[in-house]
Amino acid sequence: MLDARVKVPQAAWQDNGGDMGEIYLVRHGQASFGTDDYDRLSAVGVEQARRLGNWFRMRGLTFDRVVVGSLLRHRQTLEATGYTGLEPEILPGLNEYHFHALLECHLEQCPVEPPLDLKDARVFYRQLRLTLGAWADGTLRHPRLPESWSDFESRIRASLRAMVDPPDAQRVLAISSGGAISALVREVLGLTVEQMITMNLQMVNTGITRLMFKGDKVRLQSWNAQPHLERPDAEHLISYT
């Protein structure tokens, strides 16, 4: 597992000169898992995002660009941080893969008896791991697949390119989802799909992943950090949905 505090040596960037840009990739706040409408923040999710915004302000961080996926939970997370001065750019490539549809396709192709209770988080994530593996290796074949694995990879690569352009934006805030962020890290580090899936299932709501970029070079600076929640009065807010 990657340590969120592992740092990339700055000397590696000195050969080309100039300033580095950085992207603060934030997973959305806790969504409404187990309800009929997952795509909205829970009360916990709103509080997580509020504390994240306070932490940003305490650090004196300002952003040149704000980028969000097109999902409601992404926009609600941005609103709850209080960083509403810049008009957010909508980048649908940062959206999560369609996990409900993928699960349905996989369970239709490989039915399980008795039927699984997918409102149980442990059951859900165990089945999701199997589903993502089958999706990625091509054994999940269903006429109603929402997108192919190769299409998912392509939009992740396109999103990464979009976030490092234009080059004059030195600090970017991007709000996305766990699967998309894990895929972005996979693209940067050259991870296996299995490693990406493991990272995906460990991501904390409002966890921060920092990427540094210069030109077409992108490096991971930290992963899944939650300094705004690592305090006695906030540890109860750490969640993974």
Average pLDDT over residues 14-31: 82
- In this prediction, residue 167 has a pLDDT band, given cuts at 50, 70 and 90, of low
pLDDT value of residue 38:
82
Residue 29 contacts residue 203 (beta carbons within 8 Å): no
| Token output for 238 | 């750490």
Sequential DSSP letters for 192-213: -HHHHHHHHTTPPTT-EEEEEE
Half-sphere exposure in the Cβ direction for 202 (13 Å, CA): 15
CA 103 to chain centre: 19
| Beta strands 65-68 and 89-90, pairing class | parallel
Half-sphere exposure in the Cβ direction for 102 (13 Å, CA): 24
pLDDT at 7 over 50: no
Residue 41 contacts residue 77 (beta carbons within 8 Å): yes
- Secondary structure (3-state) at 123: helix
CB neighbour burial string for 62-79, b if at least 16 within 10 angstroms, e if fewer: ebebbbbbebebbbbbbb
Domains with residue ranges and CATH for the chain: 18-97+148-237 (3.40.50.1240), 98-146 (no CATH)
- pTM score over 0.85: yes
Determine what percent of the chain is predicted with pLDDT higher than 70: 92
Residue 13 contacts residue 214 (beta carbons within 8 Å): yes
Residue 140 contacts residue 134 (beta carbons within 8 Å): yes
